[in-house]
Structures are given as structure tokens and as C-alpha cells.
Amino acid sequence: MPRMGQSVSRDKRPPGSLKNPSGGCRVPGLEPETPVNGSGDQYVTIEGLTTIGSSFGHAETLIRFQAAVRANGMHVLAPLDQAAGPLEAGVSLDATTVVMFGNRERQAALAQALRLIALDLPFRALVWQDAGGRNWVSYNDFRWLAKRYGAAREDACLFTEMAVMIDGIARKASSPP
């Protein structure tokens, strides 16, 4: 029984859980948009985030992504299964894996050019499946990160090279040869 002045919650979700986005909560600027490819799938457009649809299932996309990382001279540091924890708590989440990857020399060069970029290192990509069963690869665009953190103009090539490399890795993982 609540005490006087205490609010009563009728919400049956565990404390700290987020509301269902389809439950009527709207955040300005986060309305779903239809992709350019006309597939009818909906996603949220977020500045600085690149999302590419995959032609493969989640496991195959993940394997291909990790192989492309290695082919580009980097190491896969950890694939983090984000669906496992919620499942242990009795909450079902579609396949969602964060892949952490990197290369010490490239990361050091980026951090030397712009110390704040260390907040986004090692590199990360999200391989995920939406409610309709479609698989995606999402990652931060390093050109946007350079702008966000105020990189010097002379360091633009360094950040552009990383952006192009990560984009190539994601496209190789998501598209047939």
C-alpha cells in the first residue's frame, strides 16, 4: 500500500525498463521513416549512424562481418550477444550482437589526432534483426564523429579513411560477392 504522497504505478514492467515505442510515446525527431529502397521497412534516421540491410541471416552476417574485419588487418575483440541477457530475464529480444573490433595502430593514430575519439574506440558495429526478420548492420560514421568531436581540418583524411574502411567492411558482410 503506497503512503500518502507516493505515486502509484500501474506499469507491470520491471523498474528501469523502457516503454514500448509503439505505446504512444513520441520523441520529436525520432519518427520512423520509410527507407529509400521502398521496401516498406521502417527505421529511425539518426544523424551520424549508418544502417545497411543485409542479404543474409543474422549468424551469416555476423560471420561475414568478422571475416571482413580480419581481412582489413584488424582484430575482433569481442562479439557481445545483447539478446542473451534479456532472455535470462525472461524478455525476448531479436538477434542483436555488438561486434567490438580494432587495430592498435589505427586507434592510436585517431586518438593522437583527436583525444575525445577514444570514447568511441574500439570500433563497434551492431548486427541486428528487426521484428520482421530482416537483418541489418549499423555503425557510427567516423566522418560524423570527427565533426562531433571537432577534429582539425588536417586530420580529415584520417577519419575519412576509417569511415570508408568500416563502410566497406559492413557492405562486404551484408551483400553477396
Query: What is the residue-averaged pLDDT of the chain?
Result: 80
CA angle, 112 then 123 then 81, to 5°: 150
State phi, psi for 58 to the nearest 5 degrees.
-60, -50
Q: Give the pLDDT band (50/70/90) at residue 14.
A: very low
Cis, bond preceding 86 (omega within 30 deg of 0)? no
d(CA 170, CA 166): 6
Specify if 160 maps to a domain: yes
Q: Give the pLDDT band (50/70/90) at residue 44.
A: low
* Burial class (CB within 10 angstroms; exposed 0-12, middle 13-18, buried 19+) of 126: middle
Between 40 and 72, whose confidence is greater? 72
Share of the chain above pLDDT 70, in %: 75
| Count of the separate structural domains present in the chain | 1
CA angle, 170 then 148 then 169, to 5°: 10
Distance of CA 97 to the CA centre of its chain: 9
Specify if 41 maps to a domain: no
Q: Which residues pair with 98 in a beta bridge?
A: 80, 126
Specify if 169 maps to a domain: yes
d(CA 121, CA 92): 29
Instruction: Summarize pLDDT for 64-105 with one digit per residue, the tens.
Output: 999 999 999 999 999 988 877 777 778 777 899 999 999 999
Domain containing 141: what range? 51-174
Report the pLDDT value the prediction gives residue 83, as an integer from 0 to 100: 79
Q: What is the CATH number of the domain that holds 105?
A: 3.30.310.70
Three-state secondary-structure class, residue 18: coil
Specify if 25 maps to a domain: no
* pLDDT at residue 152 is higher than 70: yes
Specify if 1 maps to a domain: no
Specify if 16 maps to a domain: no
The answer to whether 72 touches 97, Cβ cutoff 8 Å, is no
Specify if 83 maps to a domain: yes
State phi, psi for 63 to the nearest 5 degrees.
-60, -45
Instruction: Summarize pLDDT for 126-147 with one digit per residue, the tens.
Output: 999 998 999 999 999 999 999 9
Specify if 105 maps to a domain: yes
Q: Give the pLDDT band (50/70/90) at residue 31.
A: very low
